Structure formats: C-alpha cells, structure tokens
Amino acid sequence: MTPDSLLQVRDLKVHFPVQHGLLSRVKAHVKAVDGISFSLAPGETLGLVGESGCGKTTLGRAVVRLIEPTSGSVLFNGEDITKLDGADLRSRRRGFQMIFQDPFGSLNPRMTVEQIIGEALDIHSLATGDGERSKRITGLLDSVGLSANHAQRYPHEFSGGQRQRIGIARALAVEPKLIVCDEPVSALDVSVQAQIINLLQDLQRERGIAYLFVAHDLAVVEHISHRVMVMYLGQVAELADAKAIVREPKHPYTQALISAVPVVDPEAKRQRIMLPGDVPSPIDPPSGCPFHTRCPIAEPRCHSEKPALREIAAGHFVACHLAR
Ligand code: SF4
C-alpha cells in the first residue's frame, strides 16, 4: 500500500454461482470481477469504464461491501473491510458511501427529505438534539443546491436532477472520505448531467472526497476523472491518467472505446474502430487474453498466453502483449 492511499484493492474477485436443477447444484460461476487491483488517493477520482456486463458496477458495489467479494482484500485507511461484519462494518461505513444511477429507486418514497437525510445522521449519532439535527440537514441541502423549503417534501415531488442531489446530500451527511458513484448521471438529461458533475467536483474540492466513478460514457468519465481504469470481462485492460487514456490509448479495446466518443472539433476526425462479435460470456471467458476473440491485432500467442498488466510508462498500465 502506498503511504498516501485511501483505498487499496488487491486481487479482488466476485464470482457468482450459477445454479441448476432441482437440487440447485452449482454448475458454473459468473466471473463478474476476476482479480482486480488498484489504489485510490484521498481527493482523487478514478473513472471505471467498459461495456455493459464488464463488471464495473459489481466492482463498485464490492468495494463498499454491498456485494460480498469471493476473495481478495479492500483496504480502507489501511484496514481490510472484507474481514469486518456487524457493528464494526456499520461504523466503518461512515467513511465510504454510494450514490446510485436511479436516485428515485434508492430513496424511500414514504419518507420526507428531512427524514431521509436525518436517518443517515441518526445511524451514526451525528446530531444531538433537534436544533442541531435540522441545522445540519439545512446545511447539507444548501451544499447540494437545495433549500430548507425542500426538507418536508417527498421524493416524487422532485425532478431527476433534484433527486440525485438528495442522494448526494444523504451520502454527505456522514462526512465520507470515499463515494462510489454508480452511473450517477446516465439517467439524466445532458444539461442536468453537467450540473451534477459540477456539483460533485465542487464538493470534492471543498471536502477532499475521493470518488470511484462508474460510467459507460467516456466523455463524462474523462471530464471528471484524474485516472481511468478500463475493464473487460471482469479484468483490467488499461489503467492510466485520464488524459493519457484519451490521447494515447494503448490497449486495442481502449482504442475502440475512444474511437466511439464524438469529437467536438470537426477537424479532429477519428476513425471509428468497429469490434467484431459480442462480449464473450463471463461464465466461460476465453483462454489467453480475454480480448483475443475480438481483437483486430491478435497474434497466435494471444489465444493461450494471458498478458500481464504491465507498466509501460509512469503510471500507465496495460494488459496487452503488444503494447509499447
Ligand atoms: Fe489483442 Fe493480443 Fe493485446 Fe490481447 S494481448 S489485446 S489479443 S494483441
């Protein structure tokens, strides 16, 4: 673990059993996350990208123990949270929170905004007395661009963007050091997306929060992230500084993803790389390099030899035999 790491994930695996028959025998495993390692510094944003089904959402949830990892470790402030349970885990949850793609689904429709945010304060005994509690709730609403007038309303009375602001206020209530953002803007209109992204960036500057930002939209990820990790079939294909990933992608899969991002400058044309076939099943991933069935430059050895994740430049890691 580097001395300044807030989060260190080591060889994390999440394999879901596939059951079959009357006796529900386990006949195979879906390898949703298959040996992922990375670290995150305080106040840093790491973007997680990849096609649907690549394991990025499962990874985000496993990091905050909403899904149980099969093996590996998640060190938060140097402590392995995969070994904790009960009251110990509940108390550590103050440090790491999550915001979701569908804020409506994650907010109790029968609770007012005050009750939703107040519940988070109560669980961790963060406000003593009614005066202190409502002062903190008003302060949290203000910090996400809502007002005290909103406190007595219910989630259905808000727009999608406002509901996401409520979800952010609820996460902020416990003063976390890390927030896992699971596609937090993908269900919102483009103009509202920009407002929420700006809010998250402002909060990061003010409070030094680190984000693990899961998204399929590379343009959004590039904008908000310091570093980006590209996943394919539950494994890391490439991990680097956000600008390096976009300007000089080294893995053929990253190159294909980047080629699909629209460019604003009409002069700077990009050749779209179309990948053949579909993503293989994570129940039975290909041998050798997991990308070899779709890779435009695959060699014979790619079918049998799995490429290691190598550091080809300072902080730039690629899992490809041919990357230089
Ligand atoms: Fe393509 Fe081979 Fe590199 Fe995998 S190791 S990305 S198959 S060239």
Please give the average per-residue pLDDT across 49-71, as a whole number.
95
Q: CB of 220 within 8 A of CB of 192? A: no
**Number of the ligand 1 atom closest to the C-alpha atom of 237:** 6
The answer to whether 64 touches 247, Cβ cutoff 8 Å, is: no
The answer to whether residue 267 scores a pLDDT higher than 70 is: no
* Residue 230 CB less than 6 A away from ligand 1: no
Tokens at 121, concatenated: 């304060």
Q: What confidence score (pLDDT) does residue 283 get? A: 92
Q: How far is the CA of 298 from the centre of ligand 1 (A)?
A: 5
Which pLDDT score, from 0 to 100, does residue 102 have?
A: 82
Note the pLDDT tens digit of each residue in 85-114.
999 999 999 999 999 988 778 899 999 999
206 versus 23: which is more confidently predicted? Answer: 206
Tokens of 223: 């904008």
- Whether residue 1 is predicted with pLDDT greater than 50 in this model: the reply is no
Ligand 1: which atom is nearest the Cα of residue 297?
A: 8
Nearest CA to ligand 1 atom 6: 320
Average pLDDT over residues 257-268: 78
Q: How confident is the model at residue 133 (pLDDT cuts 50, 70, 90)?
A: very high
Residue 324 Cα to ligand 1 middle (Å): 12
State pLDDT tens for residues 31-43.
Answer: 999 999 999 999 9
Summarize pLDDT for 190-215 with one digit per residue, the tens.
999 999 999 999 999 999 999 999 99
List the residue whose alpha carbon is closest to atom 7 of ligand 1: 292
The pLDDT tens digits of the residues spanning 136-188 come to: 999 999 999 999 999 999 999 999 999 999 999 999 999 999 999 999 999 89
Max mean pLDDT among 5-14, 84-93, 270-279 falls in 5-14
Mutate to test the pocket of ligand 1, among 253, 254, 257, 321 (most ligand atoms within 8 A of CB): 321
Distance in Å, CA 296 to ligand 1 centroid = 8
* Residue 53 confidence class, pLDDT cut points 50, 70, 90: confident
Is the distance from the beta carbon of residue 302 to the nearest atom of ligand 1 less than 6 Å?
A: yes
| Confidence (pLDDT) at 266 | 65
Q: What is the mean pLDDT of residues 14-21?
A: 90
Between CA 208 and CA 226 the distance in angstroms is 14
What's the confidence (pLDDT) of residue 11?
Answer: 98
CA 322 to centroid of ligand 1, rounded, Å: 7
pLDDT at 268 over 70: no
Best substitution site from 255, 320, 324 to test ligand 1's pocket, by max atoms within 8 Å of Cβ? 320
